[in-house]
């Protein structure tokens, strides 16, 4: 079937070209910086023992967080989709809620609760003669502090994956003589593998890109080291070399993921898997299952919320949290809403043309943009921020430290996430609908506006909400690019925890949860309890 | 048939679902002997798939008993899980394992290393050239064959198939219907096929069971069902016949389209529906005939006519190509007395 260009291609292509240039800026900076260092110096920096240790730490953190997330997410996914777990729907929502808690806020709560001295647990145990707890600062804290608040990314891909496995394949396995247990390992898990790999990758990427938790838990991974070079020594070359290493590492992960997909089909033939799988009766395992879900919810939802509330209450009762902080809190919250909202709108506005082009006029240029957006996706926030700081001071001094540059950074960082959601919405749209509109005498623009966009609007809104949510929690780029005196919830929580001003950190963390929680609920509801396109 | 236990027996099996007003399966009793091909025929929602799942062990009956080879597998005699029933299953959408090749799909139910049996069934269904492909690389017909081979490989005593041909296009369906029958007969396996297509049931099966709203309406060889439908529902669903309101009279039935002689003796004056199969309705050109030709379609092997009665009822008739009547012509209607059946209203 030949397709004469049915799209107002020029306008769409222009918008896509702007996106392409924007996304390429950080990468261009990174390569240019690497070139200016010179090959031999660069190589010397890359194999410096201290840097190799940072590389090993980052790899270890990514693997450990992925493994710990798997222990949480796989049982939760099976329990909430395949069993008669009591109050299953409530657990479904609760298990996704940790996405509302930024990892630095969650880690701060862990420290407040379990730090060796002066934490709640130590104070509770003091009468028993416990004067000091084993330290949570370090690897245990870093792994728990990231995994507890990023496992939902794995959970959501696993839930989608489980939902896509036709019940009939499991029934065939049973009729061929396999027990329920053997069926799970030989039929369900292999079909789940692509979701498993994708989800583990998301979580590992999250761990590699996270700045807040490693900094709080004092683990020397790339993000923390780059940030301290940036703030303390301002050694641009060293920071750039480390950023390059981090970017290469993330790209390697993405490459491995692409390679693991074998020839076997990772799609169900007709899309819809038909009849849902019958629920497994848990029997006497139901209460241990509930205990498991409760434990996860305690650490990942209840603890951060309760700790924050406790510190706020203590701050009020000891008058260390003056009333004007609440008014300031409102200001900071509206700053966060402004930046995240603007980023979400910009991302969707530019993702839509790119997605339409990719779906309706596939060609070399459009697929290049798409692939490119995933390379940009591999650039962590701290790398993008570093690039924009550098480019800003050098080439666009007028833009440096303006709100516009901050929003632009969020646009570059979260465009791939918005494109994913938008693209899947467009791909579900039958092109014959627009063709019918055109055969009835409508112009391409009109067909687009009257038929296509109304139909994909739910997908666009979901994508926008996801970008909004991620932008709310974003830390390094906001820290490095926000105009002087401009604070968001993320930066306030961060600065308060650095100053050990727990009451204020608690206040802003509560505000963050109050804004993000409803957004999560909206996304979960919109995507039919199963999660749609969730990526970060 | 000859005193041996039937391969499959259902005794008063019933199954209810909370969402459904009437039972999905209501007091069904059935038997299938070794090597018999049994079709479960009925419109959608008649309970035929539920019945199949009860046999395979994916549902448990609320009442009654399921026996395989004389042994109770569900009901009062206890419960045998699906993996220990030895019932092979073929699904409508084939449910091939997407992560395994054709060969490994087929070997799935066999002990590891039993390559000779894999080879044998691959030969039986003619998949030699594509055994190393993955399911998504196969056509619909090939996928169907893999599903069948996979179910046959462990030599099940009985194989159940849920609309196995309905996802294929018409040409392929007709072709595979005969091939399926030949393969099953060659293996000597007992088979239960669920379908809503009466033609498929009649041409495939040795025995056909017609279901309606969970109840068994009639079971018997295809010819018997076609010639002697026990109920009006069976007559309508299986034969797609005309039904003409009639009143029993001396030696036959009076209708608005004339008198039809019959060999049956319905009580005089009783109101009945007269069943006249499309191919049994003879049309004779007659200027004062009670019926009129409304429309005709040439089918190649003959004609299909639409005929209007005085009250406006439409009847359908099929004739050979030799009977060519123009639309608008008046005709008299008749049938051979022994072909007529009447159902009391």
Question: Residue B114 burial (CB < 10 Å; 0-12/13-18/19+)?
Answer: middle
> Which residue has 């609908």 as its token pair?
A433
Position A137 scores a pLDDT of 87
Position A528 scores a pLDDT of 58
Instruction: Report in angstroms the alpha-carbon separations of A424 from A351, A355, A420, A427, A463.
Output: 11, 9, 6, 5, 10
A370 close to A12: Cβ distance less than 8 angstroms: no
Nearest-CA distance from A168 to chain B in Å? 6
Nearest CA to A506 among A315, A327, A330? Answer: A315
Helices (H), B19-98: 48-56
Nearest CA to A356 among A434, A408, A409, A411? Answer: A434
CB-CB under 8 Å, A265 with B134: yes
Q: Which of B84, B91, B137 sits opposite A172 (nearest CB)?
A: B91
Q: Give the mean pLDDT of chain A.
A: 83
CB-CB under 8 Å, A178 with B91: no
Nearest CA to A292 among A86, A17, A16? Answer: A86
Backbone torsions φ then ψ of B254, nearest 5 degrees: -95, 135
Q: Give me the architecture of the B8-86+156-236 domain, per CATH.
A: 3-Layer(aba) Sandwich (3.40)
B chain contacts of residue A277, beta-carbon cutoff 8 Å:
none
Nearest CA to A380 among A280, A191, A253, A497? Answer: A253
> Percent of chain B at pLDDT above 90?
60
- pLDDT tens digit string along A258-315? 665 544 434 433 444 456 677 888 889 999 999 999 999 999 999 999 999 998 898 8
Q: Is the pLDDT confidence value at B118 over 90?
A: yes
Give, in degrees to the nearest 5, the angle at Cα A237 between A233 and A243: 100
Mean pLDDT for A191-208 is 86
pTM: 0.78
Q: Which of A160-174, A233-247, A521-535, B20-34 has the lowest mean pLDDT?
A: A521-535
3-state SS of A26-86? HHHHHHHHHHHHCHHHHHHHHCCHHHHHHHHHHHHHHHHHHHHHHHHHHHHHHHHHHECCC
Which carries the bigger pLDDT value, residue A109 or residue A361?
A109
Nearest CA to B253 among B340, B326, B328? Answer: B340
Calpha distance A243→B258 (Å, rounded): 95
Most B CBs within 10 A among A164, A175, A279, hence the mutation to make, goes to A175
Ranked by mean pLDDT, the top range of A44-53, A296-305, B240-249, B267-276 is A296-305
Q: Is the pLDDT confidence value at A531 over 50?
A: no
Considering only alpha carbons, which residue of chain B is nearest residue A267?
B98
Mean pLDDT for B143-160 is 93
Mean pLDDT for B312-333 is 90
Position A428 scores a pLDDT of 73
Nearest-CA distance from B137 to chain A in Å? 9
Nearest CA to B49 among B164, B171, B149? Answer: B164
Q: Comparing B8-86+156-236 with B241-336, is the CATH topology the same?
A: no
Q: What is the largest CA-CA distance in chain B?
A: 78
Q: Which of B57, B89, B136 sits opposite A269 (nearest CB)?
A: B136
Using the Cβ of A319 and the Cβ atoms of chain B, whether some distance falls under 8 Å is answered with no
Nearest-CA distance from B45 to chain A in Å? 15
Pairing of strands B207-212, B215-220: antiparallel
CATH no. for residue A342? 1.10.3720.10
Nearest-CA distance from A171 to chain B in Å? 8
> Which residue has 């390094």 as its token pair?
A476
**Residue A57 is assigned to a structural domain of this protein:** yes
Question: Which residues make beta-bridge pairs with B65?
Answer: B11
Calpha distance A418→A472 (Å, rounded): 15
Integer-rounded Cα radius of gyration of chain A: 24
Question: Which residues make beta-bridge pairs with B31?
Answer: B9
Nearest CA to A512 among A532, A496, A529? Answer: A496
CA atoms within 13 A on the CB side of A471: 33
Ranges of beta strands (E only) in B214-301 are: 215-220, 242-249, 252-255, 258-261, 271-276, 282-285, 291-298
A chain contacts of residue B134, beta-carbon cutoff 8 Å:
263-265
Q: Which of B81, B99, B134 sits opposite A190 (nearest CB)?
A: B99
Mean pLDDT for A163-175 is 87
Q: Is the pLDDT confidence value at A530 over 70?
A: no
- Pair of tokens at residue B7: 């391969």
Nearest CA to A170 among A281, A280, A283, A261? Answer: A280
A chain contacts of residue B96, beta-carbon cutoff 8 Å:
169
Question: Which residues make beta-bridge pairs with B285?
Answer: B331
Question: Residue A295 burial (CB < 10 Å; 0-12/13-18/19+)?
Answer: exposed
**Residue A260 DSSP class:** H
Calpha distance B162→B59 (Å, rounded): 15
Q: Is the pLDDT confidence value at A445 over 80?
A: no
Mean pLDDT for B146-153 is 93
Position B41 scores a pLDDT of 95
Q: Is the pLDDT confidence value at A5 over 50?
A: no
**Residue A268 is assigned to a structural domain of this protein:** no
- Pair of tokens at residue B265: 């003796």
CB-CB under 8 Å, A174 with B83: yes
Instruction: Give the orientation angle of helix B170-187 with respect to helix B140-152, to 10 degrees.
Output: 20
pLDDT band at A362, cuts 50/70/90? low
Which carries the bigger pLDDT value, residue A376 or residue B103?
B103
> Percent of chain A at pLDDT above 70?
87
Q: What share of chain A is helix, strand, coil (3-state, %, to 5)?
A: 80, 0, 20
CB-CB under 8 Å, A171 with B89: yes
Position A378 scores a pLDDT of 66
Helix (H, G, I), strand (E, B) or coil at B83: helix
Calpha distance A484→A278 (Å, rounded): 57
Nearest-CA distance from B192 to chain A in Å? 15
CB-CB under 8 Å, A168 with B91: yes
B chain contacts of residue A267, beta-carbon cutoff 8 Å:
98, 136
Using the Cβ of A1 and the Cβ atoms of chain B, whether some distance falls under 8 Å is answered with no
pLDDT band at B30, cuts 50/70/90? very high
Superfamily of domain B241-336: Nucleic acid-binding proteins (2.40.50.140)
Using the Cβ of B100 and the Cβ atoms of chain A, whether some distance falls under 8 Å is answered with yes
Q: Which of A175, A187, A278 sits opposite B88 (nearest CB)?
A: A175
Instruction: Report in angstroms the alpha-carbon separations of B184 from B146, B155, B189.
Output: 14, 11, 6
Nearest CA to B46 among B233, B215, B229, B208? Answer: B215
Position A392 scores a pLDDT of 83
Position A462 scores a pLDDT of 84
Nearest-CA distance from A531 to chain B in Å? 23
Calpha distance B160→B29 (Å, rounded): 17
Mean pLDDT for B99-108 is 91
Calpha distance A421→A418 (Å, rounded): 5
- Residue A371: CB partners within 8 Å, gap ≥ 6? none
- Pair of tokens at residue A498: 């650095």
Position A269 scores a pLDDT of 38
For chain B, the domains span 8-86+156-236, 241-336
CB-CB under 8 Å, B135 with A270: no
B chain contacts of residue A195, beta-carbon cutoff 8 Å:
none
Helix (H, G, I), strand (E, B) or coil at B246: strand
Q: Is the pLDDT confidence value at A489 over 90?
A: yes
Position B280 scores a pLDDT of 92
Position A167 scores a pLDDT of 85
Q: How many CB pairs under 8 A join A and B?
A: 83
**Residue B116 DSSP class:** H
CB-CB under 8 Å, A176 with B88: yes
Q: Is the ipTM of this complex over 0.95?
A: no
- Residue A418: CB partners within 8 Å, gap ≥ 6? A344, A347, A348, A351, A463, A464, A466, A467
Q: Which of B98, B108, B109 sits opposite A264 (nearest CB)?
A: B98
Nearest-CA distance from B204 to chain A in Å? 23
Mean pLDDT for B35-57 is 93
- Residue A290: CB partners within 8 Å, gap ≥ 6? A85, A86
H or E element: which one contains B176? helix B170-187
Calpha distance B177→B195 (Å, rounded): 12
Mean pLDDT for A17-24 is 83
Calpha distance A166→B95 (Å, rounded): 7
- Pair of tokens at residue A167: 């019940």
B49 close to B192: Cβ distance less than 8 angstroms: no
**Residue A280 DSSP class:** B
- Pair of tokens at residue B95: 């449910």
Q: Which of A164-173, A188-197, A319-328, B136-145 has the lowest mean pLDDT?
A: A319-328
> Which residue has 């028993």 as its token pair?
A128
Position A274 scores a pLDDT of 55
**Residue A26 is assigned to a structural domain of this protein:** yes
Integer-rounded Cα radius of gyration of chain B: 24
B chain contacts of residue A174, beta-carbon cutoff 8 Å:
57-58, 81-83
pLDDT band at A54, cuts 50/70/90? very high
Question: Which residues make beta-bridge pairs with B148?
Answer: none
Q: Which of A173, A190, A263 sits opposite B134 (nearest CB)?
A: A263
Q: Is the pLDDT confidence value at B44 over 80?
A: yes
CB-CB under 8 Å, B83 with A179: yes
A chain contacts of residue B84, beta-carbon cutoff 8 Å:
177
B chain contacts of residue A278, beta-carbon cutoff 8 Å:
58
A chain contacts of residue B157, beta-carbon cutoff 8 Å:
none
Which carries the bigger pLDDT value, residue A429 or residue B217?
B217
Quote the number of domains for chain A: 1
B185 close to B177: Cβ distance less than 8 angstroms: no
Per-residue burial over A484-493, b if 16 or more Cβ lie within 10 Å, else e, is: eebbbbbbbb
Position A367 scores a pLDDT of 67
Domain encompassing residue A464: 9-262+286-526
Calpha distance A504→A487 (Å, rounded): 13
Q: Is the pLDDT confidence value at B98 over 50?
A: yes
Chain centre to alpha carbon of residue A395? 31
End-to-end CA distance of chain B: 36
Calpha distance B54→B82 (Å, rounded): 10
Calpha distance B286→B292 (Å, rounded): 10
> Percent of chain A at pLDDT above 90?
30
Most B CBs within 10 A among A172, A263, A280, hence the mutation to make, goes to A172
**Residue A533 is assigned to a structural domain of this protein:** no
Length of chain B measured in residues = 345
Instruction: Report in angstroms the alpha-carbon separations of A144 from A53, A300, A491, B63, B90.
Output: 21, 10, 22, 52, 46
Instruction: Report in angstroms the alpha-carbon separations of A60 from A73, A291, B147.
Output: 19, 30, 44
A116 close to A132: Cβ distance less than 8 angstroms: yes
Position A365 scores a pLDDT of 67
């Amino acid at each position: 079937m030949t397709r004469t260009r049915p799209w107002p291609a020029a306008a769409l292509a222009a918008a896509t070209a702007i996106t392409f240039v924007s996304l390429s800026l950080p990468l261009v900076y990174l390569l240019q910086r690497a070139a200016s260092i010179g090959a031999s110096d660069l190589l010397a920096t890359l194999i410096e023992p201290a840097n190799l240790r940072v590389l090993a730490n980052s790899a270890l953190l990514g693997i450990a967080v992925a493994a710990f997330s798997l222990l949480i997410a796989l049982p939760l996914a099976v329990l909430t989709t395949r069993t008669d777990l009591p109050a299953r729907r409530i657990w479904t929502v609760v298990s996704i809620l940790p996405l509302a808690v930024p990892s630095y806020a969650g880690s701060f709560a862990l420290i407040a609760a379990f730090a060796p001295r002066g934490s709640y647990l130590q104070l509770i145990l003091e009468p028993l003669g416990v004067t000091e707890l084993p330290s949570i600062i370090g690897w245990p804290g870093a792994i728990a502090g990231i995994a507890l608040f990023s496992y939902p990314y794995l959970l959501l891909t696993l839930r989608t994956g489980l939902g896509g496995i036709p019940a009939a394949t499991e029934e065939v396995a049973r009729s061929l003589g396999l027990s329920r247990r053997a069926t799970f390992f030989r039929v369900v898990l292999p079909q789940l593998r692509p979701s498993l790999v994708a989800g583990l990758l998301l979580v590992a990427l999250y761990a590699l890109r996270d700045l807040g938790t490693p900094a709080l838990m004092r683990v020397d991974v790339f993000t923390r080291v780059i940030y301290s070079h940036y703030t303390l020594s301002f050694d641009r070359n060293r920071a750039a070399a480390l950023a390059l290493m981090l970017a290469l590492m993330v790209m390697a992960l993405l490459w491995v993921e692409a390679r693991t997909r074998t020839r076997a089909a990772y799609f169900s033939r007709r899309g819809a898997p038909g009849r849902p799988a019958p629920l497994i009766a848990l029997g006497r395992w139901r209460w241990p299952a509930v205990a498991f879900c409760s434990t996860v919810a305690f650490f990942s939802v209840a603890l951060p919320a309760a700790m924050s509330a406790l510190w706020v209450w203590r701050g009020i009762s000891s008058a260390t949290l003056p009333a004007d902080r609440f008014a300031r809190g409102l200001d900071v919250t509206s700053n966060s809403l402004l930046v995240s909202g603007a980023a979400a709108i910009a991302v969707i506005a530019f993702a839509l043309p790119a997605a339409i082009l990719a779906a309706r006029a596939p060609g070399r240029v459009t697929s290049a943009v798409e692939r490119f957006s995933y390379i940009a996706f591999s650039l962590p926030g701290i790398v993008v921020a570093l690039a924009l700081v550098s480019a800003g001071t050098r080439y666009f001094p007028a833009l440096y430290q303006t709100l516009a540059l901050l929003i632009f950074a969020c646009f570059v960082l979260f465009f791939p996430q918005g494109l994913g959601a938008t693209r899947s919405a467009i791909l579900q749209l039958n092109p014959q609908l627009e063709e019918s509109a055109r055969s009835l005498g409508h112009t391409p623009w009109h067909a687009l506006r009257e038929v296509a966009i109304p139909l994909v609007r739910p997908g666009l809104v979901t994508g926008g909400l996801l970008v909004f949510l991620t932008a709310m929690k974003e830390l390094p780029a906001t820290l490095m690019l926000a105009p002087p005196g401009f604070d968001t919830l993320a930066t306030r929580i961060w600065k308060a925890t650095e100053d050990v001003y727990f009451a204020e950190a608690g206040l802003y963390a509560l505000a963050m949860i109050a804004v993000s929680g409803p957004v999560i609920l909206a996304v979960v509801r919109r995507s039919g309890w199963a999660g749609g396109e969730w990526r970060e | 048939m000859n005193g041996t236990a039937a391969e499959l027996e259902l005794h008063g099996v019933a199954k209810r679902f909370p969402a459904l007003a009437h039972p999905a399966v209501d007091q069904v009793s059935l038997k299938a002997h070794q090597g018999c091909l049994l079709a479960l025929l009925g419109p959608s929602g008649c309970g035929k798939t539920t019945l199949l799942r009860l046999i395979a062990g994916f549902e448990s009956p609320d009442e009654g008993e399921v026996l395989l080879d004389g042994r109770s597998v569900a009901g009062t005699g206890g419960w045998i899980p699906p993996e220990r029933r030895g019932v092979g299953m073929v699904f409508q959408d084939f449910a091939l394992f997407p992560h395994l090749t054709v060969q490994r799909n087929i070997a799935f139910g066999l002990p590891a290393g039993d390559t000779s049996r894999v080879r044998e069934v691959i030969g039986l269904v003619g998949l030699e050239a594509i055994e190393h492909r993955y399911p998504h690389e196969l056509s619909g017909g090939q996928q169907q064959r893999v599903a069948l081979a996979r179910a046959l490989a462990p030599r099940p005593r009985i194989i159940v198939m849920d609309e196995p041909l309905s996802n294929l296009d018409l040409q392929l369906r007709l072709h595979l219907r005969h091939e399926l029958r030949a393969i099953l007969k060659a293996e000597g396996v007992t088979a239960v096929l669920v379908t809503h297509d009466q033609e498929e049931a009649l041409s495939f099966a040795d025995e056909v069971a017609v279901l309606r709203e969970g109840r068994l309406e009639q079971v018997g060889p295809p010819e018997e069902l076609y010639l002697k439908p026990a109920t009006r529902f069976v007559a309508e669903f299986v034969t797609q016949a005309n039904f003409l309101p009639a009143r029993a009279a001396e030696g036959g039935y009076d209708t608005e389209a004339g008198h039809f002689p019959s060999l049956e003796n319905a009580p005089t004056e009783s109101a009945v529906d007269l069943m006249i199969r499309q191919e049994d309705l003879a049309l004779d050109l007659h200027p004062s005939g009670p019926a009129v030709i409304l429309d005709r379609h040439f089918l190649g092997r003959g004609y299909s006519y639409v005929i209007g009665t005085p009250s406006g009822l439409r009847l359908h008739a099929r004739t050979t190509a030799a009977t060519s009547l123009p639309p608008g012509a008046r005709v008299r209607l008749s049938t051979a007395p022994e072909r007529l059946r009447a159902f009391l209203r």
